[in-house]
Amino acid sequence: MTIEVDYRFPLGVDVHKQAKMIAVGQTVGTWDGRFSHREESLRAHLAQVVNVVEDDTGSTATIHFPESNVEGDIASLLTMIFGKYSMAGQGKIIDLRLPQHYGKEPTVGMSGIRERLGVPHRPLIMAIFKPALGLSPEDHALIFSQVAHAGLDIIKDDEILPNLDIAPTKKRLEACLEVIHEVKAKTGRTVLYAVNVTGSAEDLIKNARKLVWKGANALLLNVLTYGFSVLDTLASDPEINVPIFAHPAFAGALCAAPHTGLAYSVVLGTLMAHGGADAVLYPAHYGSLPFDPQEEAKICQILRQRNVFPVPSAGIHPGILPQVIQDYGPDVILNAGTGIMDHPEGPAAGVRAFFEAWERLQGGGAFDLASLPEGALKRAVEKWGSA
Amino acid sequence: MTIEVDYRFPLGVDVHKQAKMIAVGQTVGTWDGRFSHREESLRAHLAQVVNVVEDDTGSTATIHFPESNVEGDIASLLTMIFGKYSMAGQGKIIDLRLPQHYGKEPTVGMSGIRERLGVPHRPLIMAIFKPALGLSPEDHALIFSQVAHAGLDIIKDDEILPNLDIAPTKKRLEACLEVIHEVKAKTGRTVLYAVNVTGSAEDLIKNARKLVWKGANALLLNVLTYGFSVLDTLASDPEINVPIFAHPAFAGALCAAPHTGLAYSVVLGTLMAHGGADAVLYPAHYGSLPFDPQEEAKICQILRQRNVFPVPSAGIHPGILPQVIQDYGPDVILNAGTGIMDHPEGPAAGVRAFFEAWERLQGGGAFDLASLPEGALKRAVEKWGSA
């Protein structure tokens, strides 16, 4: 089985020369007569340039790498397909096709998350604790209580909240577990809290195990700042039997440039889907982040093919639901930060507005202000508009 | 104490707007009246825009972040200073100033490596196993024996060589340890072998401990593909009392773009120096990689200030030594791949050529072909030229 990579070059780059540099330089590197007795073995490690296409705006080289050069994980894969070569000038990885068996499958995944929540069909609604920093564990529990009782499916820490003295991870979990138990006892519903795991690799892994043991029912990981190798360990561990939400923080550093780095769909799609994530957040094009709808659709498709939940974030508010469902269908987790927390009538109304919007959409109702009945949805549309 | 970051924007970007977006968006995120009782706590987490400079080619905003927002490591730092914002469009981190105590100091460092080798003053000579893939452990030992007996200081695995069946990491170490012991017994000299540690985070860490326990006297880590959090654990572990060589593989994905990502000097300089590396490889501007000499000089300076050994790589061959010493001075590890392994008379001659070059430079001799006496250096200069 081979690993297939498309490298894109702008006009003016000698694509044939670059492709050869990659195929040799990123595999055997060099060889000479001293190793003629090993020629067969060396050849088995060489990558092959299988296609070169030149067009009006540049060129694309497709290269096949032997799977036997790497360890079946994301870290050794990235080192091979882009390690040293990434420093060679202009050249961007725009597509990556891995064998189906490469890497990890999600442990819980889209189907497992729906099963745990007992919500088989509708889009799931997810909130983020805000403000990101400065809240006590009691503040977290207070906010959580409001949105959880209003029907929320999932809440997550803000990705920039690490294990701080003012709100230690363990204390946040303890405070929020009370709410989870309360909602369960009262309504039978499960609410997930994706708690942010941080620290040096070994501490992070140990803490993740402890948190799950204490009752955490979801984890949040900044995969790109902590490392795919950390996701690998968490996803491989049978003790960590809860969904791992992968956050895209830092993805722009790798993906935002036109002619270097990797496409967003490679990093937030393929690498996450084969890296062990159960759900992956990415910026939706509705928000202020300049995100390409096509790239986003590709991420969504890649993730779902592997039973990984797409979690479009940014610019998500109740009035945009018709557009969101048209763009993604209902197999999606809608992640709203301010779209829930900054609702004019408070976070609980923010959650209710989403469910009102879902009901209305199901019933074929219009979303313009004049047609909307009084209520949380109308207040939301007054503030953020509708689509 | 504060963390100081310079963000650079191209012309046409509203620097004041972006700076404010970073200062609020990357810290508290949002707040409203509900948390007025916590206003003081929230304010303590806010970043401050302390300077904005506009010039002919763009603008630079300097922002101060409270150290108390992060965990004193690189991963939570990156999430805060660039996490979500990295996806906001054009904007590049061109400088990062951390408090002296932030992060880790190297365990062994420049002084410790010199001490272990018993080489107090001259530049150290380092080779890389080539071909990168396809050699057996016995091949590794054979090559190593040739260069080690010729006087080499350090050898390293190629960064793309993981733990493969054809040459398992443990077997490579065992084979190379014999050479290390032989050279020690015969000459009293220590030769370091930086063995590449790979795998999922937990396996990598366990293997690193086992390898050191078995006698490994140096480690190689692809910090950017495995994660700074992994370096953090390795550097914190008192059992891992050997120098960690940080490889720059994948750095181009983060650093090569003009208007996004981070400067090479931030990633390969500041982050590595505060991340726990003992020696850091980076592309020298002598090679084929398009590297800016000023950025390189900055990396070198940042590393040395923290007792971290700079390891310029790419385009290093014996004839370039006068230029290299003029550019860096002697406190440097010269890392030559083909510059040793592809010497016309073989790898041992490649090593001898470097020492002949160093002797000749000390004696003030010229490096042009006509003046050079017969020998390994002359052969090298015939092949690669001199500077």
Burial class (CB within 10 angstroms; exposed 0-12, middle 13-18, buried 19+) of B364: exposed
Identity of the amino acid at A120: P
How close B55 gets to chain A, by Cα (Å)?
23
**pLDDT for residue B33:** 61
d(CA A276, CA A108): 10
d(CA B47, CA B24): 7
Sort strands A309-313 and A279-283 into parallel, antiparallel or unpaired. Answer: parallel
Contact B131 A31 (CB under 8 A): yes
How close B6 gets to chain A, by Cα (Å)?
15
Residues from chain B contacting residue A133 (CB–CB below 8 Å): 27-29, 42, 45, 69
Residues from chain B contacting residue A248 (CB–CB below 8 Å): 84, 87
Contact B291 A87 (CB under 8 A): yes
**pLDDT for residue A140:** 94
Contact A261 B253 (CB under 8 A): yes
Beta bridge pairs of residue A62: A6, A51
Give the number of beta-carbon pairs within 8 Å between A and B. Answer: 313
Burial class (CB within 10 angstroms; exposed 0-12, middle 13-18, buried 19+) of A118: exposed
Q: Does A228 touch chain B (CB under 8 A)?
A: yes
Interface test with B, best of A200, A207, A286 (most B CBs within 10 A): A200
Q: Does B196 touch chain A (CB under 8 A)?
A: no
Strand, coil or helix: B4: strand
Within 13 Å and on the Cβ side, how many CA atoms surround B44? 12
What is the DSSP code (8-state) at residue B83? T
**pLDDT for residue B31:** 61
Interface subset of A 44-63, CB within 8 angstroms of B: 44-45
CA-closest candidate to residue A31, choices B315, B131, B135? B131
**pLDDT for residue A134:** 86
Q: Supply the mean pLDDT for chain B.
A: 95
- Give residue-wise pLDDT tens across range B41-79: 788 899 999 999 999 999 999 999 999 999 999 999 999
**pLDDT for residue B34:** 65
Average pLDDT over residues B363-377: 95
DSSP secondary structure, B181-219, as one string: HHHHHHH----EEEEEP-SSHHHHHHHHHHHHHHT--EE
Contact A28 B133 (CB under 8 A): yes
d(CA A299, CA B31): 31
CA-closest candidate to residue A135, choices B76, B33, B39? B39
- Give residue-wise pLDDT tens across range B319-347: 999 999 999 999 999 999 899 999 999 99
Contact B87 A134 (CB under 8 A): no
On whether the CB atoms of residues B155 and B125 are closer than 8 A, the answer is no
Q: Is A89 left (phi over 0), alpha (psi -120 to 50) or beta?
A: left
Interface subset of A 72-111, CB within 8 angstroms of B: 73-76, 78-80, 82-90
Residues from chain A contacting residue B338 (CB–CB below 8 Å): 30
Residue position matching structure tokens 């200069």: B381
Q: Does A232 touch chain B (CB under 8 A)?
A: yes
| Nearest residue of chain B to residue A347 (CA atoms) | B34
Alpha-carbon dihedral angle through residues A74, A77, A79, A82, given to the nearest 10 degrees: -110
**pLDDT for residue A31:** 62
Residues from chain A contacting residue B222 (CB–CB below 8 Å): 75, 79, 83
The list of chain A residues with pLDDT below 70 reads 31-36
Entry field: residues in chain B: 387
Residue from A17, A20, A84, A210 carrying the catalytic annotation: A84
Q: What are phi and psi of B232, to 5 degrees?
A: -55, -50
On whether the CB atoms of residues A340 and A383 are closer than 8 A, the answer is no
- pLDDT classification of B361: cutoffs 50, 70, 90: very high
How close A14 gets to chain B, by Cα (Å)?
14
Contact A29 B164 (CB under 8 A): no
**pLDDT for residue A291:** 81
- pLDDT classification of B40: cutoffs 50, 70, 90: confident
Please indicate whether residue B273 or residue B130 has the higher confidence score (pLDDT). Answer: B273
Q: Does A197 touch chain B (CB under 8 A)?
A: no
Average pLDDT over residues B154-167: 94
Q: Does B222 touch chain A (CB under 8 A)?
A: yes
Q: Does A168 touch chain B (CB under 8 A)?
A: no
In chain B the domains, ranked by start, together with CATH numbers, are 2-30+38-97 (3.30.70.150), 109-384 (3.20.20.110)
d(CA A12, CA A8): 12
Is B84 tagged catalytic? yes
**pLDDT for residue A85:** 96
Chain mean position to CA B169: 21
Dihedral angle sign, alpha carbons of residues B24, B27, B29, B33: negative
- pLDDT classification of B140: cutoffs 50, 70, 90: very high
Q: Supply the mean pLDDT for chain A.
A: 95
Interface subset of B 293-332, CB within 8 angstroms of A: none
Strand, coil or helix: B96: strand
For residue B317, give both structure tokens.
């061959």
Long-range CB pairs of B31-39 (<8 Å, 24+ gap) are B31/A130, B31/A131, B31/A134, B32/A342, B34/A346, B35/A131, B35/A134, B35/A135, B35/A139, B38/A134, B38/A135, B38/A136, B38/A139
Residues whose CB is less than 8 angstroms from the CB of residue B209 and which lie 6 or more positions away in sequence, other chains included: B237, B239, B240
Q: Say if residue B219's pLDDT is above 70.
A: yes
**pLDDT for residue B235:** 98
Residues from chain B contacting residue A260 (CB–CB below 8 Å): 252-253, 256-257, 261
Contact A70 B222 (CB under 8 A): no
